[in-house]
Structure 1
Amino acid sequence: MASLKLDALPLTYLKGVGPAIAKKFKQLGISSVEDLLFHLPLRYEDRTKITPIHQARMGQLVQLEGEIGSSSIQFGRRRSLQCVLVDKTGIIHLRFFHFSAAQKNSLAEGTRIRCYGEPRRGRSGLEIYHPEYRVLQPGQEEPVADTFTAIYPTTEGLQQGRLRNVVNQALQLLDKADDLQDFVPAQLIEQFQLAGLTESIKLIHRPPLDAPLEWMNSDTNPGAQRLAFEELLAHRLCMRQFKSLYAQNNAPAFKQGAELTQSFRNNLPFQLTAGQDQAFAEIEADLGRETPMLRLLQGDVGSGKTVVSALSALKCLASGYQVALMAPTEILAEQHYDNFRAWFEPLGIAVEWLSGKTKVAQRKQVLTSL
């Protein structure tokens, strides 16, 4: 078992995961036991104690335990299953708008259950809509959770209880197997005082009981910080590699266009701001190189992105190339078309517009002229 490779171990190795359940996990991008370990909780809930019903408060998540005093189907604007949960201190209503016959039968009068949810004010007092629950066996005392309960991203037909069960099995295998392969160099782990990868995974799935719930639900716990660091590092390395490979491509250098851009500036009814001048200068320098430009022009609405784009287009046009400007909506495309016609046609540059509503004959004419 010490040499067990979790990345090569299929989910069907785990108890309760057959082909049908494995297919649902596949929808979440989970195929192996290692994939499951990296399926991280969305948040945590405190189910380490049972709250007496009379202490339940509106808007506060609670775990309750009691007996079904009555169970009936209510008919109103929406059909619902309504159960009255009773303990020694009071009663509370449980309401289900989506339920099966098996669920109705499992919540019969006299059944003991443990449920978790958020009470809200209803017509008959406090109610919990669609609480997560489980039926308790008669005469059997079940312990409460000994750590915070993880809530995972899921898909239809894959309940939280099943998810937690298979994650616990995966953690048991992790306890017996080799540590997960850690791609972060030891030097960086030491430099930034990061937790180890295996330690972080265990912390995230099995939070210590003495950890504050708010701390675990924040990004400040060491497990979350460790995985966030790895994700950011991987993203940064991928970007560096992409830029390095991208820079190996060739592109035409657009060095002409000084007179054309100056004529454009002279025709504008306004002066460019210092920020607009700087943005164009940086783009102009990129366009003058023999490697492709990789740049994002970002600015608030009305900051002058369009006029800077027009200047950049003129650099390409002056070298004998054509320029395409794409817009996400037809309204915006039409606005750009009007602006560029007003700017470029006095310079002898033709501007055409293609959109989804362009008529066939006009589209053919535009495409022919390209």
Structure 2
Amino acid sequence: PIPRTLVLTAFGDMDVSKLTEKPAGRQPIRTVTLPLERLDELVGRMRDAVADGQKIYWICPLVEESEEIKLMSAEDRFASLKPLFGDRIGLVHGRMKGADKDEAMRAFKAGETRILIATTVIEVGVDVPDATIMVIEHAERFGLAQLHQLRGRVGRGEKPSSCVLLYKDPLGETATRRLSVMRETEDGFRIAEEDLK
């Protein structure tokens, strides 16, 4: 659930159904936090994962470089990883034409690309059951509901899945708490309650 759902339930005319189990066959998602200083180590592990046939989402908070905010954009991350992964890497974001987005998603789902660099455009409505790794860059910039939704793009098949929350030091108190909650639980109700605090 998202915080809005919880608010509607508490103050509106809406009942709650609580699902406490994952659909049959789904594995837990192992969530880890990693400082951006260890990016090279992560990229090395991604090479191994791609060689092993795994599919990886890599989420960036921006489409393109911004003068106001110093964060890695999807276009810049794609450009930095393309020399390492060649044709096995794709890009999708909200400013692309619909046909280009559809083609990027089709190629990823079909396994023609193994890494999909994206913005939050893939947050909902995307189902690639054999995607097993989610990397969220600058995870400290996202809210709990968004982090939970993004993490939910993996762990949809029968293989174990991982979510890597990449963050830039130093973290503030709120960001530290958010990332801790994401490491500790996959329970959407607990995450929604924490998000309302």
Same fold (TM over 0.5): no
Relative CO higher for 1 or 2, CA cutoff 8 Å, sep ≥ 6?
2
Give the TM interval when normalised to the shorter protein: 0.3 to 0.5
> What TM-score results when the alignment is normalised by the length of structure 1?
0.19
